[in-house]
Structure 1
């Protein structure tokens, strides 16, 4: 009889021996489920990271593809840095042969108007009068030049075209111009004038004006 059986008490079942069963708490089912979910999540993240690395090194960028799918395009970069801004506001650019230019010299340099007129004629412009500037403008133009035309000349792109050939030229419109003056543009050469814009640079400016850059992509692209 084991020492655990009280004296005088018999029974059908008695505990004998010196080893006793140890009771263990059963592991909750929620722990097993949580472990399984954690393992699946870790495996998914590892697979996603591997795919991202492969697409980066293969040149297949997911964000870029998503942007193209949404209709977004990268912003264009400036490719012609030597193209200078012009003051014209016309929606089109005139052809040189359609613009008659009166070249007027407001400086003290002799022969400047004729040399400039000859160069403009080589570039396809129609030359009108070549003379000294009127008294009210003589010696008053401090910049490289002053362009004077009608509002129609501005709308037709004549002033815009000439600003491509003479950078930083000031432009003015004069509704009082009548007769032949209404169909021509005055180019008044000022004190800061040195030469016309280089032909290649002027051509790039005209091309940029004729084909304006696309509008910026929508916000968020």
Structure 2
């Protein structure tokens, strides 16, 4: 008779089989909580990594857009400051780039062609248009017979020198602008083989006005963009 058979049963009832009740230890709540937190952290880290990868492969569009907005704000602020400066009388709207008047530009007219009298006739026309005339002669050896284009305007570098060359350049179509290391404030007009005559006076005046209008804002940039 089995040891599990209750007394008095006489073996009528037996407990058979090999499955017995087992005592299970109570679950620990703390472990469950910690496992849940670890799972949440892992999912969050995976999501963050995915977003970083998307940002990298998309070229960082969000950062670029933010940077562009910042630059736009800064540019707008600068243009506003320029407008305030003009309103305060430090720069009037439409004044544009300050260019010298023709009567303050001294021009040396030099003939690099084999056509005689060209320097004299050109100098006379420039004088009528208000320019000061300096030397009128043949071009030096480095230019004589070597200027194939309409002409060359030559002067000192720097802001003032460039301004004088711009004013003189309006009088000649397709002039080549060059710089040298001269000390004076005069400029040279070297007549080349393709030269026929100066630009029409009306066209030259319009070109000069266009140069001034191009610098309508103090820094010469377009604040509307």
Q: TM class, shorter-chain normalised?
A: 0.5 to 0.7
Are 1:209 and 2:211 counterparts?
yes
Q: Residue 152 of structure 2 contacts residue 191 of structure 2 at CA under 8 Å; is this kept in 1?
A: yes
Other structure's SS at 2:123 match: helix
Mapped partners of 1:155, 1:110: distance in 2:
29
**TM-score scaled to structure 1, two decimals?**
0.53
Q: Residue 113 of structure 2 contacts residue 193 of structure 2 at CA under 8 Å; is this kept in 1?
A: yes
Other structure's SS at 1:130 match: strand
Deviation digits for residues 92-145 of structure 1 (CA, Å, limit 9, x no counterpart): 322101100000000011100000000000000000000000111101001111
Are 1:133 and 2:139 counterparts?
yes
Find the counterpart in structure 1 of residue 3 from structure 2. none
Find the counterpart in structure 1 of residue 188 from structure 2. 186
Q: Residue 147 of structure 1 contacts residue 187 of structure 1 at CA under 8 Å; is this kept in 2?
A: yes
Deviation of the 1:152 alpha carbon: 3.9
Mapped partners of 2:112, 2:162: distance in 1:
26
Are 1:103 and 2:105 counterparts?
no
Q: 1:196 to 1:141 in 2, by over 3 A?
A: same
Mapped partners of 1:130, 1:153: distance in 2:
26
Deviation of the 1:167 alpha carbon: 1.8
5+ long unaligned stretches in structure 2:
1-96, 217-221
Find the counterpart in structure 2 of residue 115 from structure 1. 121
Q: Which runs of 4+ in 1 moved over 6 A?
A: none
| Count of aligned pairs | 124
**TM-score scaled to structure 2, two decimals?**
0.52
Q: 1:129 to 1:213 in 2, by over 3 A?
A: closer
> Alpha carbon RMSD of aligned pairs, Å?
1.8
Are 1:143 and 2:149 counterparts?
yes
Q: Which has the higher helix share?
A: 2
